[in-house]
């Protein structure tokens, strides 16, 4: 069982102390649980993230979902899937069409966004600028506070984008509190189902690297544009 722990961060082979667990394992569990809870409530630093993105060459727009604050966002998932009226007004004068719109949303772990989102976009940038194939005409990068994946559908539709890519903090677990997820949707619009998206998950220090996530995303984007689909009909390639 100890050999198995070399290959996984899951809590296996913890040992025993009488009829209970060793105190070290109990304390480690409590620490992991506290970190996961803290990550859910950690606020997204929109000004700081915007400054980093623009320094990296991305024009940005700052948006919010229909949730008024973090507490309401956690209680009302439906509000996180819709943009506020003020945010819709911000997008209205930005005229497409665009090949792709990117959105970064805090989701359930703003830590994941701050640690990994821009790293993925940096790795993806050469493809967008045309080193892999034709260059991509991209919309301004949307930074969304209190946002869930489906908020990207409204963003992509409002911008006239052929596809939307949402980078979002995943639900923290006991293995890591800062895992990033990436969702791609062709022809975004309200009402899109999860089966119509492609997901790349577990982007974090102990999981999928930013470089490999960007490589996989780039291939999926290229295939999505060529075949004009996303979701269960678009299979992710194996990385070599």
125, part of any domain: yes
In the chain, how many domains are there? 1
pLDDT in tens, 73-83: 999 999 999 99
Residues of the chain with pLDDT > 90: what percent?
Answer: 74
65, part of any domain: yes
Residues of the chain with pLDDT > 70: what percent?
Answer: 95
Could you tell me if 187 and 227 are in contact, meaning their C-beta atoms sit under 8 angstroms apart? no
Q: Does 183 have pLDDT greater than 80?
A: yes
More confidently predicted of 32 and 97: 97
Distances (CA, A) of 178 to 90, 115, 139, 142: 29, 7, 27, 20
7, part of any domain: no
Could you tell me if 167 and 117 are in contact, meaning their C-beta atoms sit under 8 angstroms apart? yes
- Which pLDDT score is estimated for 131? 63
Mean predicted lDDT score pLDDT of the chain: 91
Q: How buried is 72 (Cβ within 10 angstroms: 0-12 exposed, 13-18 middle, 19+ buried)?
A: middle
Query: In terms of residues, how long is the chain?
Result: 240
14, part of any domain: no
Give the residue numbers spanning the domain of 191. 41-227
Q: Looking at residues 138-156, what average pLDDT do you find?
A: 97
200, part of any domain: yes
Q: How buried is 104 (Cβ within 10 angstroms: 0-12 exposed, 13-18 middle, 19+ buried)?
A: buried
15, part of any domain: no
28, part of any domain: no
DSSP state of 5: G
CB atoms within 10 A of CB 44: 23
Could you tell me if 113 and 169 are in contact, meaning their C-beta atoms sit under 8 angstroms apart? yes
Q: Which residues of 23-37 are buried (b: 16+ CB within 10 A; e: fewer)?
A: eebeeeeeebeebbe
99, part of any domain: yes
CATH number of the domain that residue 219 is part of:
3.40.50.11240
């Amino acid at each position: 069982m100890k050999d198995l722990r070399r290959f996984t961060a899951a809590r296996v082979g913890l040992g025993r102390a009488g009829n209970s667990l060793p105190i070290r394992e109990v304390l480690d569990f409590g620490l992991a649980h506290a970190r996961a809870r803290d990550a859910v409530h950690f606020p997204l630093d929109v000004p700081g993230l915007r400054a980093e993105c623009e320094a990296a060459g991305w024009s940005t727009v700052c948006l919010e979902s229909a949730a008024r604050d973090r507490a309401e966002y956690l209680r009302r998932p439906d509000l996180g899937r819709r943009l506020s009226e003020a945010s819709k007004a911000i997008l209205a004068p930005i005229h497409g069409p665009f090949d792709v719109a990117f959105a970064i949303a805090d989701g359930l772990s703003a830590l994941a966004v701050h640690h990994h989102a821009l790293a993925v976009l940096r790795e993806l940038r050469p493809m967008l600028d045309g080193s892999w194939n034709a260059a991509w005409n991209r919309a301004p990068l949307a930074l969304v506070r209190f946002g869930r994946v489906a908020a990207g559908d409204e963003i992509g539709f409002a911008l006239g984008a052929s596809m939307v890519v949402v980078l979002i903090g995943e639900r923290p677990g006991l293995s890591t509190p800062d895992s990033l997820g990436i969702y791609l949707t062709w022809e975004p619009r309200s009402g899109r189902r999860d089966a119509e998206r492609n997901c790349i998950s577990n982007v974090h220090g102990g999981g999928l690297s930013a470089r490999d996530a960007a490589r996989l995303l780039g291939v999926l984007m290229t295939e999505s544009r060529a075949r004009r689909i996303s979701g269960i009909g678009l299979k992710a390639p194996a990385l070599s």
